[in-house]
Amino acid sequence: MEQVHADTRATASDDDIELDEELESEEDEEGGRRRRWANLSYTTRVTLSFSLIAAMTAIVAIGVVSLVWEQHFQTYTNDNMTAVAESTANQIANRYATAHEFNETVLQPANNAVSLSRGVGMQVVDENSNIVFDSTTFVEGVDGLVVPSIAPAQRQDNMAYAPIVVNGQAVGSVRVWVYGSDQLLRVADQEFRDKSYQAMITAAIIAILLASVLGFFFARSLVRPIKRITDTAVAIKEGDLTARTNLQGEDEISQLGETFDTMASAVERDRKLERRLTTDVAHELRTPLMAIQATVEAMVDGVLPVDEERLITVDSEVQRLSRLVDSLLTLSRLENRSNPTKQEIVDVGEVVSGIVATHEAYVAESGLRLLYRADPDVYVLGDPDLIRQATANLISNAVRYTDEGGRIFVRVKRGESMASIAVQDTGIGLTPEEARMVFQRFWRADSGRDRESGGLGVGLTVVKEIVERHNGWVQVEGRKGEGACFTIHIPLYDEREQRRKGGRSKQQFRR
């Protein structure tokens, strides 16, 4: 018994193995078909798809047309033969009404019908089912000999019948059939049907060829811009950051190309910013680091005494390095949009008045006067901390380039659609050329000034980035030796637009 169970388990195990092998074989075949299809080019796949669609459409159309054609064509031919039988019967009836018998004259319409209808047989029988006319004895056979032709077995589907009615009484009937056909199809009808099928098949072949050609060109039109995008991506990967697809249009692929170009421009801009930042940082850090290194080495070597004055010098350079690094970090975050901008309702007059208050002592220590004026109810939507920083940078820049005894005017105004923060000084001023360069990183007016007076050269760049993040711009005006005026323009808060979008109102903000 145990042996039997062991054999049964062994057999079942073998069956499972064979089933697994069959399933794996089927999966491998299916995977192979998928791989073969995937290995075909996109153009080939689209062309084949168009051809298959055309072939399937043609097959379905031919099948449907054939089904309908056979039904209606059979009805049409039956109606024709019935019409011949009825017409002949009516003519015979008219003559029979006068002769009262089936003679040659009465049966002449049958002879006429047979002679006019090629391939059609006819019989006329009287009321006693006696055949009084039979066209089978007049069939022309081989070599022009007249040979008898037997009428087909009388069935409902292979003969057309029509009664011969005289004075309301049937005196006989007419039978019509087609030689060699069980469906009342004449030779001409059969030829017409066969040629119709040939025409449909020819049309299907032409449709498949046209679909293949159209599919090929359609696929080429799709592949061409995709290939341009691919080539551009390869060029950018190889280091050519100026490569672009230059695709334009309203279709999805053209929009993809435009988006790709925008992305490539952003990558190129970020790479340039990265390289410029590296160069600028190396340039700006070199001088204070060299000063610190020289001073420390001199003190270590005993050339300079380690006193308070030397330590203050080192500390001053370290503080400058710290401010430079902080400014660069702030600028980098603004340029890379790494920190989201707050969206708060900001009372510009209140924010700027706080900055003016904290800078009054600093301005006074520099021997300058600080004047401030603000229009009431000037609101914008933005980040109050960034607006404070931008205003503080403009005030510090004005103090830095204004000689002792000068004045600085800060003004907040409300325009039709823009809020403005203007910082005007009576300092060294700007030429038109300097006004165009003032927002470049590490650029400073009056390059002859020392670094303590000239600043770090990134403050105005930070201002520009902050204002642009608020969808505004910075206006620069000035004349050499007469001072300069920097004006920040930011869109006013539109309460109706914010209500439409579901934002907060100024009443909610005030509460």
Distances from the Cα of 396 to the Cα of 76, 120, 124, 370, 401, angstroms: 102, 116, 125, 12, 9
Higher pLDDT, 240 or 278: 240
Residue 282 has pLDDT above 90, yes or no: no
Q: 89-139+149-186: which CATH topology?
A: Beta-Lactamase (3.30.450)
Residue 2 has pLDDT above 50, yes or no: no
The pLDDT tens digits of the residues spanning 170-225 come to 889 988 877 655 555 555 666 777 787 788 888 888 888 888 888 888 777 777 88
> Candidates 3.40.50.1970, 1.10.1740.10, 1.10.287.130, 1.10.260.30; correct CATH number of 248-339?
1.10.287.130
pTM: 0.44
> Could you tell me how far CA 379 lies from the centroid of its own chain?
40
Higher pLDDT, 104 or 274: 104
Return the bridge partners of 407, or none. Answer: 369
Give the domain ranges of the chain.
89-139+149-186, 248-339, 340-510
Give the dihedral of Cα atoms 285, 286, 288, 289; nearest 10 deg.
100
- Average pLDDT value for the chain: 77
Residue 144 has pLDDT above 60, yes or no: no
**Lowest mean pLDDT segment, chosen from 59-68, 163-172, 259-268, 452-461:** 452-461
Q: Is residue 160 classed exposed, middle or buried when 0-12, 13-18 and 19+ CB atoms within 10 A define those classes?
A: buried
> Candidates 3.40.50.1000, 3.30.565.10, 3.40.50.620, 3.10.20.30; correct CATH number of 340-510?
3.30.565.10
Decide whether 89-139+149-186 matches 340-510 in CATH topology.
Answer: no
User: Length of the chain, please?
Assistant: 511
248 touches 225 (CB < 8 A): no
CA proximity to 186, closest of 175, 195, 177: 177
Residue 97 confidence (pLDDT): 87
Q: Return the structure tokens found at 297.
A: 């080495």
